[in-house]
Amino acid sequence: MNPDDQMVIRCLNCGKKNRIPRERLHDSPLCGACRATLDEMIIRCLNCGTKNRMPENRLNEKPLCGKCGATLIVDGDQGRPIEVTDGTFNREVLSASGSVLVDCWAPWCGPCRMVAPALDELAAKYAGGARIAKLNVDENPLTASRYNVRSIPTLLLFKDGELVKTLVGALPKEAIERELIAIMKTN
Ligand SMILES: [Zn+2]
Ligand SMILES: [Zn+2]
């Protein structure tokens, strides 16, 4: 099987790394060692910092922090996309632990403007679990060429500083969210 068709998901219960075919990602796969469910991710509470384990299917039930009771998935504007540049890319993306989605865009690009509201929403919704960053490719050609960004919008998905997925074109919000969740679950 093509390794691109598989994702490595670390079991949050026992730590084993499981290889799961992409198409099985959404049928609640189980850990091969301890049989715990693998469709969990870690959402950090923005109020107290506690890391909460969360199965994907509970994300839409307004889950609360197990320690302080704060809402884990926020609707407001607590989470906003951050601007990154050639100068800050190392620090904000490559040195960051966890999941980072980088939107490569330019002000003149119509399809980029179509994607922007979806990214704003995802930045707020997953504020404790992922970062959304925006890179203006006109002003930051070094980073754009380093990642071979030839057309925009291009979304670069990083996990613990490593590029794990590139999405080209203006995808619907649901498709971007699915990819973001998949990255949040992998390790
Ligand atoms: Zn396990
Ligand atoms: Zn909390």
pLDDT digits (tens, 9 = 90+) for 77-98: 567 899 999 999 999 999 988 8
At 27, the pLDDT band (50, 70, 90 cuts) reads: confident
Q: Which residues contact 35 (CB under 8 A, 6 or more apart)?
A: none
Report the pLDDT value the prediction gives residue 78, as an integer from 0 to 100: 61
Q: What is the DSSP string of 157-186?
A: EEETTEEEEEEES---HHHHHHHHHHHHH-
Distance 25 CA to ligand 1 centre (A): 16
Name the residues annotated as catalytic.
109, 112
Residue 129 class from Cβ within 10 Å (0-12 exposed, 13-18 middle, 19+ buried)?
A: buried
CA–CA distance, 41 with 20 (Å, rounded to integer): 15
Name residues with Cβ closer than 5 Å to ligand 2, which is an ion: 45, 47-48, 50, 65, 67-68, 70
Cα of 184 from ligand 2 centre, angstroms:
19
Q: What is the pLDDT of residues 33-77, one digit of tens each?
A: 998 888 888 888 888 989 888 887 787 788 889 999 888 876 555
- List the structure tokens of 3: 């390794």
